Amino acid sequence: MSEANRGAPEGALPRDSRMAVGFIGLGQMGAPMAGHLAGRGLVVYDTRPDAMAPLVKAGARAAKSVADVAAHAELVSIMVRDDDQVNEVGDEVLASARPGTVLAIHSTIRAKTAEDLAARARRYEIEVVDAPVSGGFMGASAGSLAVMVGGTDAAFERCREPFGAWADLVLHMGPVGAGTRTKLARNMLHFISFTAAAEAQRLAEASGVSLRKLGRVVRHTDAITGGAGSIMLRPTTAPLDPGDDLYDILCHTRDLGEKDLSLALQLADELGVDVPLARIARDRFGPGLGLPGDTDG
């Protein structure tokens, strides 16, 4: 027995740097993610045989069931639709996997679902990580996703290398559930920004501006500036100390933002366009940066 495996529970899987990986759920995201692992003894399962066929052609083995995947993989990744499916598939994995297996949940679910599954898994000496991803189908295809991992330090270290086959950014966010909480905050920003984009388009349309050209400008400049992520630099949302290195920078950002939002609101009033998100943003922009508003001193 190698030094790495000495003391492991009887029947436990070997701690090898090239983990045998299983992937369950080969939809729009799961299939391209699994595809980046196809040359390393990958075992795949989906209820649709046609979903497995391209991966088998690329070198993966098609499993006969969830239990078949669990019995042959050290890391079992699942990318299914919702909490109910995660519980169903997860419990099937627990019933068949050997001690030492890591079960990774990539679906976007409730944090408590992952926490409860992890609690059940401990009875089997199996580790659960919640590891939702961000970057969409494009990132999955390119192998450039971000993955936000919740779990123990040991489980994260075992997942880091195989996750790196399909992700450019692999971050340990904390204990089980932390990955999901991170994903929900990230997606809240994502979809609120879509609503804000619709509001901006209404203002542009009422102004006679080409929406397609506006879209080109937004995509071009966000690629340069980083968009909303460019101001997510602080470790806390508490008020910013005037001695902080970021204070003057964010004061400048606040002043520009409040000025430009005020101008946009004036234009909206002139055109009779309802822009409620812009009004909320104008009122909360400074405090959101940890600063007083420009009229608050």
- 275 phi and psi, to 5 degrees? -130, 70
Residue with tokens 């976007």: 108
Q: Could you say which of 182, 206, 222 is where a domain stops?
A: 182
Read off the pTM: 0.88
Catalytic residue list: 183
pLDDT 10s digits, 140-182: 999 999 999 999 999 999 999 999 999 999 999 999 999 999 9
Are 175 and 248 in a shared domain? no
Query: Tell me, what CATH number does 165's domain have?
Result: 3.40.50.720
Q: Could you say which of 154, 182, 210 is where a domain stops?
A: 182
pLDDT 10s digits, 187-226: 999 999 999 999 999 999 999 999 999 999 999 999 999 9
End-to-end CA distance of the chain: 68
Is 131 domain-assigned? yes
Residue with tokens 């520009």: 256
Closest CA relative to residue 278, chosen from 199, 198, 188, 190: 199
pLDDT band for position 19 (50/70/90)? confident
| Residue 83 contacts residue 109 (beta carbons within 8 Å) | yes
Inter-residue long-range contacts of 131-134, CB under 8 Å, 24+ positions, other chains counted: 131/77, 131/104, 131/105, 131/106, 131/159, 131/163, 131/179, 132/105, 132/106, 132/107, 132/108, 132/179, 132/180, 132/182, 132/183, 133/29, 133/33, 133/106, 133/167, 133/183, 134/183, 134/186, 134/187
* Side-chain half-sphere CA neighbours of 110 within 13 A: 8
Predicted pLDDT at 39:
81
Which residues form the domain of 240?
Answer: 233-297
- Per the structure, how many domains does the chain have? 2
Are 55 and 140 in a shared domain? yes
Is 122 domain-assigned? yes
Query: Tell me, what CATH number does 241's domain have?
Result: 1.10.1040.10
Are 61 and 122 in a shared domain? yes
pLDDT above 70: residue 17: no
Is 3 domain-assigned? no
| Residue 158 contacts residue 19 (beta carbons within 8 Å) | yes
Integer Rg of the chain from CA:
23
| Maximum pairwise Cα distance, the chain | 77
- 197 phi and psi, to 5 degrees? -65, -40
